[in-house]
Structure 1
Amino acid sequence: MARKGIRFLRRGRVVEVADFAPRTTLLDWLRIDQRATGTKEGCAEGDCGACTVVLGREREGRLVYEPVNACIMLLGQMDGAELITVEDLAQAGALHPVQAALVARHGSQCGFCTPGIVMSLFALYQEGGRPVTRETVCDALAGNLCRCTGYRPIIDAALDVCAEPPADAFESRNEATLAALRRLDDGEDVFVGEGHAFFAAPANEETLAKLLSDHPEATLLAGATDVGLWVTKGLAPLRKFISLGRVKGLEEIHDSPEVLALGAMSTHARAMGPLAGIDPDLGELMRRFGSAQVRASGTVGGNIANGSPIGDLAPALITLGAILELRQGNDRRTLPIENFFLGYRKQDRRRGEFLRSVLIPKPGPNDHIRIFKVTKRFDEDISAVMMAMRLTIKDGRIVTARVAFGGMAAIPKRALAVEKALLESRIQEGTAWAAAGEALGQDFTPLDDHRASAAYRLQVGKNLIVKALAEIAGAPSDATRIIGHREAAHAAE
């Protein structure tokens, strides 16, 4: 037997919703059903942040608040969470400290984007007790677009209020909220709807495997950062959703000296730290992975399983030799991630099969990793070209090479000709760098679309190969990257 409705907390009370269309978004439920119109609809695709709300969930024994985009999150995904909207912040007629700081700093202009900005800063405020710099605030606001160009007072307000430990009504009832969330976690499967149209949220892998075997045509829902757009922008006639958010074990992360194991439902926010521990370039890649809202919702498994040619994780994991673990019914199998991608949004995933975990071997002491993401704008943008490189160097000679690109073809893939050109060359030889760059044309006939021309992609790809080799050979990164220059410019303002 499965529970026939979802349950979540709002304003200290349990909300139960038992009758809703499977494709209902959280934003539509708030604005149309609840008349909570403070949360705005802007882009309806998770980019502008006007719809930002905050979810509270238990993470490793403590209550964590994270911003999410309500426009692309489905209502059914609320099960077991605490939902906080901009209407919930003021208490007894007094503004929340974040709201008061924005008022004091004149941080609102036309006001349309302001509720989402308030909620993003509320989530940052709840982190509390850690150094808050301009860069920290900019990262928190990367998913909130303000067309009135009013960021300076907004950032000033955040610097005023977010550096201290939280001291608000939410903090005062932290333990009570955590206890309430634990009571909601009943371990039951959720099934809302009928056999022809439903929102299902199984609680364990066995139920998931059976449900997917019975309904292999159903849409698997991880963080909805992509599927949500199928609903809001593509108007796809999806009728059956199987949400993975309640499946115990799929969210687990196990970090050992040899292997980092990421459950398929590990969010990008939770995976960021362990990935950065493998290499700083992985950490920087994750910092520029969408926005805080996207990282809090999107998952490692979802980024891989949707098969996008511009998914940022795939090229990096290909160079690291990651292995995927999949399950179909009671059968499990593994395969290298580079063999998973067959064609545009086509993967080696059998009917009724789902991705369980990603196993990432740790690099050795002679391995050198470089990862570059090239976009039109710095924050919250999709890659035009993404390159990842891992070289093993002994006595100055390249003995193994793995180079992968995203955004260059219909799938993320290795650059085998580039790898061949690098093998047995000396890392200090500039002629080898040029030869490796030129070999890229043998590997790819790049895409030509609105993000970049084919010629641009090919030239940038060649430049990235040379840039990575120059850094590995000893060139200082502040001479090859814009990151340090950008942060220095902000510090000087």
Structure 2
Amino acid sequence: METQPIRFYHRGQVQQVTDAPITRTVLQYLREDARCTGTKEGCAEGDCGACTVVIGELQQDGELSFKAVNSCIQFLPTLDGKALITVEDLRQADGSLHPVQEAMVECHGSQCGFCTPGFVMSLWALYQQHQPGGPAPDRQTICDALTGNLCRCTGYRPIIEAGQRMMSLPAPHASRLEPKAIATALRTLMREDTFHYRDPSGAVFHAPRTASAFAALKAAEPSARILAGSTDVGLWVTKQFRELGNLLYVGQVEDLQQVVEHDGVIEIGAAVSLERAYAALTDAHPELEELWKRFASLPIRNAGTLGGNIANGSPIGDSMPALIALGAEVVLQHRDTRRTLPLEDLYLAYQKTAMAEGEFVAALRVPVSGPQHFRTYKLSKRFDEDISAVCAAFGITVADGVVRQARIAFGGMAATPKRAAQAEAALLGQRWDEATVKGAMAALSRDYTPLTDMRATAEYRARGAANLLYRFWLETRDDALPAAAVNVRAPGAGSVPASAATAATV
């Protein structure tokens, strides 16, 4: 096959790259090749946000969207057909600052300045979603946009104030970031067929446009590494220095980017970002709101996919417990043949799945109607942007005071995301009362034998898992406790009656 150049829009014009390794990161390209050193390298794993850039991409409806991502773990060939916006682009033609930058200056949001370009780019992406002079994004929206950016000296108050201030400043003028101009340039870069890029070492990056082309390539070369948002695979390169071989990119497969509702299920294609997937799931299941916002950070959710999170099979992946509790099914594809199986049956052992050679995750199907009571909980050292020590999901249906259905799943408690069969058995057919719940809490010790690691001890995990089940009962029993009694972040927390606070302690 003939190699093609990587083409993308940056600094006001189309750029072409023909000699970069397929695993060269966008950050490496910016700093070492393009000499755009405003973007910084901090952690090289997508945690600190110093490397944040914004990607512009044409959607299927022809509209241009902007999303903040971590350039340190994005591979350069994934930019093909897209726009790359960096902090250098924000300065206006007359030398004046963009309103986002000006707001950071006016609000004293920068001290050492190392993290500042990343904050500016996250805020610029947010700026694009609002009208200058119009209502400013509320404080929580700004905080959500900044979950992927760490500041160790200035603190967040002045940066959040800059996010509120930026919308009231005069709109930018004479900017190279005019969305219509960017969209016009991107239309000239659109490819009708599979993009193939061969690097100097001979490794090939394939970016097919259709699921059938993707499936054919995977079947022909089962060892080809599937790449989605590279939020995990990227670290194999930046931290472990692994050679990945040929890459098969899912990000341009249009028919795997669909979210559709049919026959009582939400079907989410494997190339749908985590942010889009959770937005759709939360519409049907509002109880997922907190898990959505606490899943990694916005730049990670913008890049990573739900399909990749599922295929990865991490025992601490936050999506799987909730999806298992909801009765989700995974759609696997080999060539043009698809099969469906319950999500919990996909995981056989640590990092081992039921996928056959040449098979891949094509979609996920989640029931629109959930159980009567459904909750998810996450225990981690930080509230935002942290990996779970324990992630729990509970779904039960109660009729006439008796538990008729129960699905319980945990992450962080075993080598795979796993249902709690013993605890479920202890609930089924029993009164939904404290005695039953305590029996199910005890049964969890027969379901799981957790490990001790850097995130938590085995004892903490076991105790935390049991307490989360008790909390679930407190929130769903007939005389359910108010949110303020069980959640320290809920409005009014800390001012609940003493009796309620005591009842919420196990």
TM bucket (normalised to shorter chain) is over 0.9
Sequence identity of aligned pairs in percent?
48
* 1:257-296 matches, cutoff 5 A: 258-296=264-302
Q: Secondary structure at the match of 1:445?
A: coil
Match of 1:77 in 2: 78
Distance 1:351 1:286, change over 3 A: same
* 1:9-48 matches, cutoff 5 A: 9-48=9-48
Q: Secondary structure at the match of 1:332?
A: strand
Instruction: Using the TM superposition, give the Cα deviation of residue 341 of structure 1 relative to its aligned residue in structure 2, in angstroms.
Output: 0.6
Whichever residue aligns with residue 296 of structure 2, its letter is G
Write the distance in 2 (CA, Å) between the matches of 1:143 and 1:154: 13
**8 A contact 2:8–2:16 mirrored in 1:** yes
* 1:456-467 matches, cutoff 5 A: 456-467=460-471
Match of 1:153 among 158, 161, 164: 158
Give per-residue Cα distances to partners, 1:253-283, cap 9 Å, x unaligned. 1134721110011101112221111222212
Give per-residue Cα distances to partners, 1:222-258, cap 9 Å, x unaligned. 0000000001001112121111111121111113472
**8 A contact 1:39–1:50 mirrored in 2:** yes
Of the structure 1 ranges 129-138 and 379-388, higher mean CA displacement relative to structure 2 is found in: 129-138
Write the distance in 2 (CA, Å) between the matches of 1:466 and 1:50: 40
Whichever residue aligns with residue 122 of structure 1, its letter is W
Match of 2:121 in 1: 119
Distance 1:445 1:199, change over 3 A: same
Whichever residue aligns with residue 274 of structure 1, its letter is A
Instruction: Using the TM superposition, give the Cα deviation of residue 85 of structure 1 relative to its aligned residue in structure 2, in angstroms.
Output: 0.4
Distance 1:467 1:37, change over 3 A: same
Q: Does 1:449 align with 2:450?
A: no
Q: Does 1:252 align with 2:253?
A: no
Distance 1:199 1:480, change over 3 A: same
Q: What CA RMSD, in Å, does the superposition of the two structures yield over aligned residues? A: 2.1
* 1:337-486 matches, cutoff 5 A: 337-364=343-370, 367-427=372-432, 429-473=433-477, 474-484=480-490
Write the distance in 2 (CA, Å) between the matches of 1:71 and 1:470: 43
Instruction: Using the TM superposition, give the Cα deviation of residue 487 of structure 1 relative to its aligned residue in structure 2, in angstroms.
Output: 9.5
Write the distance in 1 (CA, Å) between the matches of 2:30 and 2:42: 15
Q: Does 1:186 align with 2:178?
A: no
Instruction: Using the TM superposition, give the Cα deviation of residue 174 of structure 1 relative to its aligned residue in structure 2, in angstroms.
Output: 2.1
Write the distance in 2 (CA, Å) between the matches of 1:229 and 1:22: 14
Q: Does 1:319 align with 2:325?
A: yes
**8 A contact 2:484–2:492 mirrored in 1:** no
Q: Secondary structure at the match of 1:483?
A: coil
Whichever residue aligns with residue 75 of structure 1, its letter is L
Of the structure 1 ranges 236-245 and 249-258, higher mean CA displacement relative to structure 2 is found in: 249-258
Write the distance in 2 (CA, Å) between the matches of 1:172 and 1:114: 20
Whichever residue aligns with residue 110 of structure 1, its letter is C
Match of 2:130 among 115, 128, 131: 128
Instruction: Using the TM superposition, give the Cα deviation of residue 432 of structure 1 relative to its aligned residue in structure 2, in angstroms.
Output: 1.0
Write the distance in 1 (CA, Å) between the matches of 2:174 and 2:232: 34
Whichever residue aligns with residue 55 of structure 1, its letter is I
Write the distance in 2 (CA, Å) between the matches of 1:189 and 1:345: 30
Whichever residue aligns with residue 435 of structure 2, its letter is T
**8 A contact 2:3–2:198 mirrored in 1:** no
Write the distance in 1 (CA, Å) between the matches of 2:2 and 2:293: 38
Write the distance in 1 (CA, Å) between the matches of 2:165 and 2:241: 42
Instruction: Using the TM superposition, give the Cα deviation of residue 486 of structure 1 relative to its aligned residue in structure 2, in angstroms.
Output: 9.5
Whichever residue aligns with residue 440 of structure 1, its letter is L
Write the distance in 2 (CA, Å) between the matches of 1:127 and 1:4: 34
Match of 2:7 in 1: 7
Stretches of structure 1 that go unaligned for 5 or more consecutive residues are none
Stretches of structure 2 that go unaligned for 5 or more consecutive residues are 496-506
Q: Secondary structure at the match of 1:479?
A: helix
**8 A contact 2:372–2:398 mirrored in 1:** yes
Of the structure 1 ranges 177-186 and 345-354, higher mean CA displacement relative to structure 2 is found in: 177-186
Number of corresponding residues: 487
Q: Secondary structure at the match of 1:355?
A: strand
Whichever residue aligns with residue 254 of structure 2, its letter is K
Write the distance in 2 (CA, Å) between the matches of 1:32 and 1:488: 52
Give per-residue Cα distances to partners, 1:427-482, cap 9 Å, x unaligned. 2x111111111110010001210100000000000000010111111222221113
TM-score by length of 1: 0.94
**8 A contact 1:50–1:115 mirrored in 2:** yes
**8 A contact 1:135–1:487 mirrored in 2:** no
Distance 1:467 1:160, change over 3 A: same
